[in-house]
A and B are shown apart, each in its own frame.
Chain A
Amino acid sequence: MNQISKTLRKHALYLSHKCRDGNLQSVFSCLDIVWTLYDRIMAWSVETAQEEDRDFFIISKGQATLALYPVLIEKGMFSLEEIGAEIGSFDSRYCIQTDLTKFQGGIENNAGSLGHGLPFAAGIANANKIKGSPSQVYVLCGDGEFCEGTMWETCIFASAKKLDNLCVIIDDNDSVGAMVDMGSFVRKLEAFGFDVSEADGHNMEELETVFRALRGRADGRPKAVIAHTVRGYGSPTMTEHDIWFHKAPNAEELELLTGEVDAF
């Protein structure tokens, strides 16, 4: 695993430890995707974070918000020390889910309830079309989240409105497999009119290649990337033990898991 992947995971471990809460399996699953978008794909920087035509990153799988803070820390938007000192405390603006109203740039939506981020992102993309803005919208969804009806309602809308400025990323770590047999996301989304690609969700070069290819296609079709991922990727303990779906590390576990990330 490359150095930035390790750094991001260690930030997430530290913040979860400080917050005494978190969904780290889900966070480790999507960190490489979020970093690739912010570092290599999106028209976004700290300086342009409130500009009209910036790209948008919408987190629909809100339980993975702790994946967003480490990326924004490394991009210079926030500081690890600041978030670590206050995350989860009564008056903090940082917690397990985001609250848009507490930020001036950097956070684009409130997450938490599944099935909301994708339609919200489609609304932004539709507005971009109406306004003639070049802004692209990236929305990170969980595979399990696609059990929600609003996800498929939005697929109809995005296709009907020809939102080729919308890119849906499914963090496909087979969470849904424990619930239902969802079948093929590729076939389903293609049937809805999406331009669908697949990638290894932990391989930044492969992700970059796929995102760059999709970004250039103004063909009237909304984009989707099925990113194949592993829950807890970067820590064997976390991958093997599902208790880490919702658990914060204590001081001893923080040391153990940090060591695992370093050695991965």
Chain B
Amino acid sequence: MRRAFLNRVADMIRNEPDTTFFTVDIGMWAIRDVLRDFPERCTNVGIYEDGMMSIAAGMARRGLVPTIFGIQPYLIDRTLEQIKMDLAYQKLGINVIGTGAAVDYPKYGYSHYCAEDAMVIKSVPGCEFVAPGSARQFLQLFDQSYRDGHPTFFRVSDHPNTEYDVDVRFGKANVIQTGTKATVIAVSVLLDEVMKVCRGQDVTVLYYTTLEPFDRETLAANCPSGKVLIVEPEFEGTLLYDVYKALPGRALQIGQVAFPREIFRNYGTYQEKMEYYGLTAENISEKLKALAE
């Protein structure tokens, strides 16, 4: 997914003179040619995410389309006030691409973990949050939103889906299958795990890659049971508000498979973390069984 993104950036810089790209000292090798050929618009800018966010806002004020690339916790946790004041409050659009989704740097500790990213960005009105489940989906979602005038945050994961790589639309959920006993909200890279459990079962599966704005209409039209299982690779509760708002006045039963809201003090591998925190087909199956019965 990271390579697909960088190739798209190189293409964008070469062909669209109103676009700019700042990298926070990562990914340079993949785009070394455009860094060399377009130094004014494509820059390894240095390691300072918060000031850079304001600088990019200033460039957007002049009609440019800035894109920033860095590591998710520094792009989001460190810069929250810049996102709020310089981008959202002033209604200025930039694109922020973050690597290091949730626990993608599993050995680096809490500094590099960022399961809270979507929850943080969803707290700032006007921002958009996109979590593609594959490289192809990244390209589709980027192309549909990168000039939309909003601050748009892309979560680039190193662990994409491999079985289910469906076409996606920005702001729209996919109805993967329909059923009567429950509705499963599968988010981003967890679609494969969800489908290991749900394929052939009498449950609805909705696939979300845009977390903000959340597609309430598709959920409202596909939840006959009032039973919802949210399967998301973010902090537990990130989509709870949206589910509640999509189904007003309904008696709901909600189950969740997600990262717990706690400080992760462990290391190990990505897979070990997913198993430890229960982001697995086995746990999805158990939660779904409890919900559907």
Contact = CB atoms under 8 A, between A and B. Distances in A.
Given A101-B90, A154-B51, A156-B46, A123 B58 contact: yes
Contacts of A124: 58-59, 61-62
B152 to A, nearest CB: 17
A156 B44 CA distance: 13
A72 interface: no
Contact of B54 (A129, A133, A150): A150
Contacts of A153: 46, 48, 50-52
Given A128-B62, A130-B64, A149-B50, A110 B55 contact: no
Contact of B56 (A109, A110, A123, A131): A123
Nearest to A131: B62
A28 B238 CA distance: 47
Interface in A114-135: 116, 119-131, 133
A156 B41 contact: no
Contacts of A1: none
A256 interface: no
B77 interface: no
A157 interface: yes
Interface in B56-82: 56-64, 81-82
B41 A120 contact: no
B55 A126 contact: yes
Contacts of B91: 100-101
B20 A130 contact: yes
Contact of A156 (B48, B58, B62, B90): B48
Where chain A touches its partner, the secondary structure class is helix
Nearest to B41: A130
Nearest to B64: A127
A119 B55 contact: yes
Given A116-B82, A116-B85, A120-B86, A126 B59 contact: yes
A150 B52 CA distance: 9
B21 to A, nearest CB: 12
A66 to B, nearest CB: 19
Given A116-B54, A120-B54, A110 B85 contact: yes
Contacts of B48: 150, 153, 156-157
Given A127-B61, A150-B50, A153-B50, A113 B40 contact: no
Contacts of A133: 62
A116 B52 CA distance: 10
A208 B61 CA distance: 28
Nearest to A117: B54
The SS class assigned to the B binding surface is: helix
B276 interface: no
A112 interface: yes
A108 B82 CA distance: 17
Nearest to B39: A161
Contact of A119 (B41, B54, B60): B54
A23 B84 CA distance: 24
A129 B51 CA distance: 19
B45 interface: yes
Contact of B45 (A100, A121, A157): A157
A249 to B, nearest CB: 29
A113 B81 contact: yes
Identify the interface centre among A108, A122, A129, A150: most chain B CB within 10 Å of its CB: A150
A157 B55 contact: yes
Contacts of A123: 54-62
B89 interface: yes
B89 A110 contact: yes
A157 B46 contact: yes
Contacts of B50: 149-150, 153
Contacts of A100: 90-91
A113 B91 CA distance: 16
Nearest to A128: B62
A123 B94 CA distance: 12
Contacts of A122: 55, 58
A150 B85 contact: no
Interface in A52-83: none
Interface of A: 99-101, 108-110, 112-113, 116, 119-131, 133, 149-150, 153-154, 156-157, 160
Given A119-B51, A127-B62, A130-B40, 15 more contacts: A101-B89, A110-B90, A116-B54, A120-B61, A123-B55, A126-B58, A127-B63, A127-B64, A129-B40, A130-B59, A149-B50, A150-B50, A153-B52, A154-B54, A157-B51
11 contacts: A110-B90, A123-B54, A124-B62, A150-B48, A150-B50, A153-B46, A153-B51, A156-B46, A157-B45, A157-B55, A160-B46
Closest 5 CB pairs of A and B: A123-B58, A153-B51, A119-B54, A127-B62, A123-B55
